[in-house]
Structure 1
Amino acid sequence: MSHTPGTESSAPAAASSGEREPDGPAEFVEVDTLAGRVRGRWRPTVRRAGDASGGGGAERSAAFLGIPFAEPPVGELRFAAPVPKSPWTGTLDALEFAPTAQRGDPGVTLIPEPSVPGESTLNVNVFTPSPTAPASGGSGLPVLVWIHGGGYFAGSPASPWYDGRSFNRDGVVTVTISYRLGFDGFGWIADAPSNRGVRDWLLALEWVQRNIAAFGGDPGRVTIAGQSAGGGAVLTLLGMPAAQHLFHGVYALSAALADVAPARSEAFGRALAAEAGAEPTRAGFGGLPEERVLELQKQATELGPDTLGSIIDEGLPLGPTIDGELIERPTLESLAAGVGRGIPLVLGATDDEFTMAFAEAEKKLRWVPKSLLLKKLGMPKDRLKPYLRANADVAAKGTARIGGRFLSDRMFRTAALRVVEAREAGAASASAGADASAGTWLYRFSWPSGAFGFAEHCLDVPFFFDCLDGPAMEPLAGPNPPQALADELHTAAVAFIGTGDPGWPTAHGPAPAAKVWDVPSRVQPDAYASVGPLR
C-alpha cells in the first residue's frame, strides 16, 4: 500500500515509488510530538575516509520529513498569520517531503531545490542521530535549524543538499523549515498581518523549542543558519527583540538582508492589485488564482538591465518589511542598539557572489572600459580609482570579473562588514551590569569553483553541509571539489553549533581578521581590505 505525505496510519506504510519497500518495522522509528505521534525512517550515516571531525560518530540517523507545524495556509488562512497545527490521532507518516511553498519549476538554480505540490506547505524536516528524549536531567544534542534561501520568492527545504546526514554523524540534530514565499509571505495587503513569512519562521522556531527534545535535541542550544535570503532571515531574527528566546547562535552565509521600507512595500502591493484589477485586500487577492498572483509577482520582480540598478540601490521589493511591529527598525540599527548582542554570530560571503551575472557577456564586455561598467553599476566617481587599485588582481582578469566583484561587494561583502561594525556598537552601548556580549566571527569563502573559476554564490553551501557527493555538484563546483576543505569548514560549523566558537579569532575594529576558506585555509588580518574603498 502506498502512502501520501501527511496522512495518518496505524501500521507502517510502504516506501514511495522509486524507493525500496521497507524491510519491516525495524526500519521505522516513532516519536511523540505535542500534536501527535510521527513515524520516520532510519538511514545510514557514512563516515568518509580521512574525516577531520574526529570521534566515532553516529552510524545511522533518522529522518522525519514533512511534519506540519501549522495548518495549511489556504482559504481563509492564506493571508493570515500561521495557525499552529491542531493535534491528530494515530501516527502521522513523516516519510516523504511535504508540499513546498515554491511552485513549479524555479528555473535555472545553482542548488537543487525541488517543488512539491500540495497545500500543507508549512512543515519541518527533522534529521536526528538520537530520536529519543534525553534521560531526566540530560541536555540533549545541539540543534541546527536551517532556513533556505531563494530571494524570499523561491527555494525549497526539500533540497538533498540540506539533508542533515553529515551533521547527524557529528552529533547535531538538524531541522529544515519551510515558510511562505513571495507575495503570499511578504506582500503588503491592507487588512492582512504583515511579514507573514517572518511569522512562519517564528512559529517554526517555537515548534522546535517545544518539540525538539523528543527528537534528542537540546532546546537550549539551537543555532539558526541560512544562506542568501536564508542568511538574511537569520540576521533579521537576530535583530528582532521578539525572537531572542528562540535560538542561541546564528550562522549567516552570504546574507541578503531585505529590510523593505514600509512605503515601498505598500506601493508594490497596491501596484500588484491594480495590475490584477483587484482591491488590495485579503478578499481582493484571495479572489485571484494562485497562478495569477505568481505571474504578476514574476513580472514585477524580473531582474533585467532596467531593474538591476534599483535592486542594488533599494534591495529586494519582497522580503521582511520594517512594519514597526515585528521588525521595529532596520536590522543594522537594531544590532547597533544591542539587540542580540549576547548571541554568538558567524557570517561571511563568497569572494565573487554575483560575478556569474556577467558570465554570458564576458566576451562582449572585454571591449567595454572597466570604469564605464562600474559607473553604470553605481560606482561613486571619487571611489573608482581607489577601488581599482585595491582590486588590481581582479581587474586584471577583465571587465566582467571586476564588474562582478563590485556587485558582490555592494550586495554582500560590505554588508557583512557593516554587521560587524553594528555588533561592536551594540557591545559598546551595553550598560554596566548588562549581560556580556558574544563574539562575532567573519569568514571569506575564496576557493575558486572548478566550473566557474571563482567563488560564486552558493558555492560554500555543500561545504557547510559536507555533501560534496550530492547531486548536481559538478555544475556548481566542477569535478573533484576538495573534500579536505569540506571536512575543515563543516567541522568548524559543528564546533560553533556545539560550543558557540568556530575556532578562529573574532572580528574586531575597522580592519577585522577573517577565516579565509581556501586550499589551504588561513586566518587573514584585514581580510576584506579590497572592499575598503566602498565603505
Structure 2
Amino acid sequence: MTPAAPEARTLQGAVRGIRHSTPGGTGEAYLGIPFAEPPVGDLRFAAPAAPRPWAGVRDASAYGPTPLRHDFADTTLIPEPPVPGDATLNVNVFTPAADPGSRLPVWVWIHGGGYTTGSPASPWFDGAAFARDGVVTVTLSYRLGFDGFGWIDGAPQNRAVRDWLAALEWIRANIGFFGGDPDRVTIAGQSAGGGAVLTLLGMPSAQHLFHQVWCSSPALGDIAVDRARAIGARLAEHLGVAPDREGFATVDPEVIVDAQERATQEPDAKGLAVARGLLRDGVGLGPVVDGDLIPRPTLESLRTGVGADKPLVIGANDDEFTMITMGSKILRFVPARLALRALGASRRVASGYLKGNRAVRKRGAGRLVGRYVTDHTFRAGVARVADARAIAAGSTDAPTARTWLYRLSWVSPTHGIALHCLDVPFLFDVLDAPRVSAIAGDAPPRALADSIHGAAVEFMRDGEPGWAATSNGRRGAARVFDVGSSSPDVVSDAYASVIALG
C-alpha cells in the first residue's frame, strides 16, 4: 500500500508534499510554497507582498515557477531548469519529517548565476542528503536581472534583496512546522549566492534572520548608486522609455531580459575592454549600496563589526575561471606580465602577483591569466572578508564569532582544474545527479563528498566545521579539500597568493 502524501501546515495554510528519496537520503519535500505574492501587475517592481492565506490543502509536490531569465539550462555548469508561471517567489523545503517538535538545524540555500540567471529547482540543490543527516533544507527563489536589481526611479531599490529578506522572514515564522529550528538557521550560497549571503551578513536589518553563514566562491555585488543609475538610464534609452517605474512597466519583461546585458557594459566597449571593465567594476546587476537597505559596502560593514557575532565558513576553488583561458592559443605567445597589464593590473600588482604565483606561471600564460581572473573575482574576496572579520574582532569588546577558511584544490578529471561550481555536488552530496559526471567525472570521489558535506553538517549541528578557525585573517589556517594529495589537510597562509591584489 502506497503511504499517503505527507502534509504540513504554514501560517498561510496547509501544504501537501511528497515522500522524497534519492541515493543520498530520504525524507519529505514540500515544493513551490509561496513566501510572497506573484510580482506581476501592480506588484511588478514592488517590494515583495506577504502571501495571502489559502483554503484547503495546497499542492506542494512540484517546483514552483522560476523568475524570468535567459535560458542557459543546457550550457551552464549547474543544471538550472526554468519553470514557467507568475508565482515565482517561492521556497522548497526538504525535511526528514515535518515534526514541529524536532527543532533541527536549517540550511537555507541562495542559488548563484551572476544575479541574472540560476534556478532553485536544480537537482544539484536537492536536500535529501541533508535530510538524511538531520538537517532541514530550504532553497529560495528571487527576482533576477534588472527586475530584481536594476535602479528604477519611483520603485523600491534592491527588490531581490528584499525577496531574500521576505523568504527568511517566512522561514523564521514557518520552518518550525517542518521540523526546523528558527534559532539555528545557516544561510549558504555559491557564486552570486555566496555574494548574497555576504550582503546579508553585512546588513544590520538582516541580523535577526540567521545565525551562521556558509559562503562558497562569493561574487559580491556592492554596486555603487551612480553606476546603477547609469545602467538604468542606458537600458531606458535603449528601450525608448523613461527611466522610472511607469516607463519600465510599459515594456514586456522578456524584452528587458534581452536588453539588460547590453546596458551593463560601457558603450562601445569591446574585447579586452569588456574584460577589464568586469574585473574593475564586477557584475553590472546585483545588490546596490543604496544608503538605505544596504547602507554601506559589505567589507566596510564587516570591518565595523556588523555580523561579527555570526560564525562564518568561507572559501573558494583554486581555478574558478581558468577554463575560460587555459586553452587559449593566443595566450601561448603573450608574456605573462603583458597579459596581466592588458587586463588592467598596475606594474606593482603585476610584479607582486607573478612573484606570488610562480608555480602557476610555469604552466603558461593561459593558466596564469585564468588564476588571476579567479583570484580577482573570488579568492581575493575571501581573503578580504577574513581580514575584515579579524579587524572587527580586534576592535570591539563584544563577543565575536570565529571564521573558518577553506580551499577546494581537487582537480576535476574532465577539466583538469578545480573549476567553478565543482564543489556544489559534493557539498549537497548529490554525486548521482544529472550532469555531475560532466564536471566531476564518472566516479566522483565519495571521500570528497564525505569531507565537504560532512563539514557543513558538522557546522550546522555543532557550530564548527571540523578544523581550526583562522586567528589572523587570510594568513590563518585553512582546510584544503582534496583527494589523493600528499599536502596536509590544513595549511597556514592558504591565500598568500592573492596578497598582491589587496
Q: Give the Å deviation of 1:368.
A: 1.5
Query: Comparing 293-302 with 143-152, which one deviates more in the overlay?
Result: 293-302
Structure 2 residue 196 is matched with structure 1 residue 196: no
The structure-2 alpha-carbon separation of the partners of 1:99 and 1:514, relative to structure 1 and needing over 3 Å to count, comes to same
1:74 aligns with 2:51: no
**Displacement after TM superposition at 1:385 (Å):** 3.3
Q: Which structure 2 residues correspond to residues 523-534 of structure 1 after superposition, within 5 A?
A: 523-534=490-501
Instruction: Decide whether the 8 Å contact of 1:515 with 1:522 is kept in 2.
Output: yes
- Alignment match, 1:333: 300
Deviation of the 1:219 alpha carbon? 0.3
Corresponding residue SS for 1:382? helix
How many residues align? The count is: 493
**Deviation of the 1:410 alpha carbon:** 1.0
- Over 3 Å counting, the alpha-carbon distance change for 1:304 and 1:73 in structure 2 is farther
1:236 lines up with 2:199 in the alignment:
yes
Where in structure 2 are the equivalents of 1:105-504 lying within 5 Å? 105-106=71-72, 108-134=75-101, 140-301=103-264, 305-361=272-328, 363-431=329-397, 434=398, 436-504=399-467
Letter in 2 for 1:119: D
Deviation at 1:359, TM superposition (A): 4.0
TM-score by length of 2: 0.96
The one-letter amino acid paired with 1:447 is W
Say if 2:26 and 2:129, in contact at 8 Å, map to a contact too: no
Distance in structure 2 (CA, Å) of the matches to 1:268 and 1:46: 46
Deviations 1:131-190 (A, max 9, x none): 1210xxxx6100000000000000000000000011011000000000000000000011
Candidates 517, 525, 532, aligned match of 2:481: 517
1:412-440 superposed Cα distances (whole Å, 9 cap, x missing partner):
11111110111111112224xx3x10000
Q: CA deviation at 1:82?
A: 0.2
**Shift of residue 104 of structure 1?**
5.1
SS of corresponding position for 2:410:
coil
Q: CA RMSD in A?
A: 1.5
Q: 1:534 offset after TM fit, Å?
A: 2.5
Output the CA distance in 1 between the equivalents of 2:335 and 2:442.
34
Give the gaps of 5 or more residues in structure 2. none
Contact 2:18 2:28 in 1 (8 A): yes
Matching residue's letter, 2:96? P
* Residues 445-501 of structure 1: per-residue CA shift (max 9 Å, x gap): 110111111111111111111111111012212231211111111101101111220
The answer to whether the Cα contact below 8 Å between 2:106 and 2:138 also exists between their aligned partners in 1 is yes
Which residue identity is paired with 1:43? Answer: H
Q: Work out the CA distance in 2 between the residues paired with 1:78 and 1:95.
A: 27
Q: 2: CA distance between counterparts of 1:103 and 1:310? A: 23
Structure 1, unaligned runs of 5 or more? 1-22, 48-58
Any idea what the Cα deviations from partners look like across 1:58-109, whole Å, max 9, x if unmatched? x630011100110000011010000011000011100111110143522621
| Counterpart amino acid of residue 73 in structure 1 | P
Q: Give the equivalent residue in structure 2 for 1:8.
A: none
Most deviating of 104-113 and 260-269:
104-113
Contact 1:102 1:155 in 2 (8 A): no
- Whether the aligned pair in 2 keeps the contact of 1:45 and 1:169 (CA below 8 Å) is no
For residue 471 of structure 2, what is the aligned residue in structure 1?
508
106-115 vs 285-294, which moves further: 106-115
1:298 and 1:387, CA in 2 relative to 1: closer, same or farther beyond 3 A? closer
| Contact 2:234 2:263 (C-alpha < 8 Å) held by counterparts | no
Alpha-carbon deviations, 1:314-360, whole Å to 9, x = none? 11121000111110000001111000111000001100111112145
Deviation at 1:393, TM superposition (A): 1.5
Contact 1:141–1:218 (CA<8 Å) still a contact in 2? yes
Question: What is the Cα deviation at residue 377 of structure 1?
Answer: 1.4
* Cα distance in structure 2, aligned partners of 1:171 and 1:269: 45
Task: Provide TM-score, normalisation by structure 1.
Answer: 0.90
Cα distance in structure 2, aligned partners of 1:366 and 1:522:
33
- Code of the residue aligned with 2:342 in structure 1: it is K
Paired residues of 1:253 and 1:349 also in contact (CA < 8 A): yes
CA offsets 1:10-68 (integer angstroms, 9 cap, x no match): xxxxxxxxxxxxx75x2400101000000001123545xxxxxxxxxxx6300111001
The CA deviation at 1:384 is 2.6
The separation in 2 between residues aligned to 1:228 and 1:382, in whole angstroms, is 28
Output the CA distance in 2 between the equivalents of 1:340 and 1:386. Answer: 32
Asked whether the equivalents of residues 70 and 257 of structure 2 are also in contact (C-alpha less than 8 Å), the reply is no
Distance across 2 between alignment mates of 1:534 and 1:281: 38
- Determine if the alignment matches structure 1 residue 37 to structure 2 residue 1: no
After the TM superposition, which segments of 4 or more aligned residues of structure 1 sit over 6 Å from their partners? Answer: none
Shift of 1:383: 3.3
Residue range with higher mean Cα deviation, 364-373 or 268-277: 364-373
The Cα shift of 1:378 comes to 2.1
Amino acid at match of 2:364: G
Secondary structure, in 3 states, of the residue corresponding to 1:28? Answer: coil
Q: Deviations over 1:278-299 (max 9, x none)?
A: 0111111011011111111132
1:11 maps to what in 2? none
In structure 1, the residue corresponding to 2:475 is in which secondary structure? Answer: coil
- Say whether the 8 Å CA contact 1:148–1:156 is kept in structure 2: yes
Deviates more, 1:266-275 or 1:223-232: 266-275
- Give the secondary-structure state (helix, strand or coil) at the position aligned to 1:489: helix
Distance 2:220 2:309 in 1: 21
- Could you tell me the percent identity over the aligned residues? 55
For residue 28 of structure 2, what is the amino acid of its counterpart? A
CA distance in structure 2 between the aligned counterparts of 1:305 and 1:515, rounded to whole angstroms:
35
Contact 1:127 1:175 in 2 (8 A): yes
Q: Is the 8 A contact 1:355 1:408 kept in 2?
A: yes
Question: What's the counterpart of residue 28 of structure 1?
Answer: 5
Distance 1:100 1:82 in 2: 15
**Is the 2:411–2:417 contact (alpha carbons within 8 Å) kept by the matching residues of 1?**
yes
